[in-house]
Structure formats: structure tokens, C-alpha cells
């Protein structure tokens, strides 16, 4: 699946809610998310108007690694 090119940090934070991620704090231009699904996991994402494609891919890979699923499955559920 092709990743979206115009996704903001806030949009991604809202989308990750399907995997149990919730905003725990925000410091400057970064948002800290935490989930307790399959153990506690913290994730920091930039609060930019448009995330770079490599940054988005790395965040999705980190989520997939924690959940022990394929990155493409994460992308399909979030954006498909």
C-alpha cells in the first residue's frame, strides 16, 4: 500500500488509536503516545503539518515490531 503524503502528526496520533495508542504528553513539537496492548509501548512522533514519508514508514515499522505483525498490515488498517 502506498503511504499517504500529506498526513500530519496529529492525524497519525488519532489514527493510532485503533491500536490502543493514546497521547500521554506533548513536549514542544513532539507527541508521546503510549499503548498497553501486548505490553506497554511508548512512541514519539513529530507534530508537523506533514510527516516525511521516511519518518512515517519508521513509525509504522516500530508499531508493527511491537505488535509483531507486518508493517503493511498496520498501514492497511490505518489508511486502507
Residue 2 lies in a domain: no
Does residue 49 sit within a domain?
Answer: yes
R_g of the chain, CA atoms, integer Å: 12
pTM to 2 decimal places: 0.93
* Enclosing domain of residue 13: 9-79
The size of the chain, in residues, is: 80
The answer to the question of residue 67 being in a domain is: yes
Q: What is the pLDDT of residues 2-59, one digit of tens each?
A: 899 999 999 999 999 999 999 999 989 999 999 999 999 999 999 999 999 999 999 9
Q: How many domains does the chain have?
A: 1
Please check whether residue 4 lies inside any domain of the structure.
Answer: no
pLDDT for 72 equals: 95
The CATH number of residue 38's host domain is 3.30.920
Amino acid at each position: 500500500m502506498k503511504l499517504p503524503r500529506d498526513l500530519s502528526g496529529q492525524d497519525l496520533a488519532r489514527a493510532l488509536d485503533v491500536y490502543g495508542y493514546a497521547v500521554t504528553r506533548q513536549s514542544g513539537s513532539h507527541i508521546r503516545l503510549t499503548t498497553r496492548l501486548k505490553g506497554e509501548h511508548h512512541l514519539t512522533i513529530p507534530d508537523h503539518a506533514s510527516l516525511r514519508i521516511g519518518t512515517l514508514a519508521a513509525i509504522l515499522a516500530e508499531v508493527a515490531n511491537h505488535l509483531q505483525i507486518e508493517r503493511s498490515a498496520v498501514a492497511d488498517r490505518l489508511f486502507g
